[in-house]
């Protein structure tokens, strides 16, 4: 699913309604910001690393990227979570 992945980033293809696929880089900070601010929103639209859309696919993408970061760089994920005021449970 990921085009390219490192310890602090993941590249994914995003397709908007009428455009061609666009490569987006999602960093650990973007995922943390999503879970700290966007995931608790009751709005039907959410944003992850500049990608705005229906909450379901955005949330699924954020969950998958979070799972990847838990496997490859859990320490940085914990550190960034604490900076954002979250209590990591992993």
Q: What is the pLDDT of residues 36-74, one digit of tens each?
A: 988 877 778 899 998 888 889 899 999 999 999 999 999
Contact call for residues 27 and 33 (beta carbons, < 8 A) = no
User: How much is the pLDDT for 76?
Assistant: 94
Contact call for residues 28 and 69 (beta carbons, < 8 A) = yes
- The domain of 50 spans 27-83
Confidence bin at 18 (pLDDT 50/70/90): low
Count of domains for the chain: 1
CA atoms within 13 A on the CB side of 81: 15
Confidence bin at 17 (pLDDT 50/70/90): low
Within a domain: 13:
no
User: How much is the pLDDT for 48?
Assistant: 93
Within a domain: 53:
yes
């Amino acid at each position: 699913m990921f085009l390219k992945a490192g310890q602090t980033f993941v590249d994914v293809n995003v397709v908007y309604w009428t455009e061609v696929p666009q490569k987006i880089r999602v960093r650990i900070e973007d995922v943390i910001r999503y879970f700290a601010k966007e995931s608790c929103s009751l709005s039907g639209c959410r944003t992850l690393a500049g990608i705005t859309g229906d909450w379901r696919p955005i949330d699924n993408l954020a969950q998958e990227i979070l799972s990847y970061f838990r496997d490859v760089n859990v320490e940085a994920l914990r550190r960034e979570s604490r900076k954002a005021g979250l209590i990591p449970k992993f």
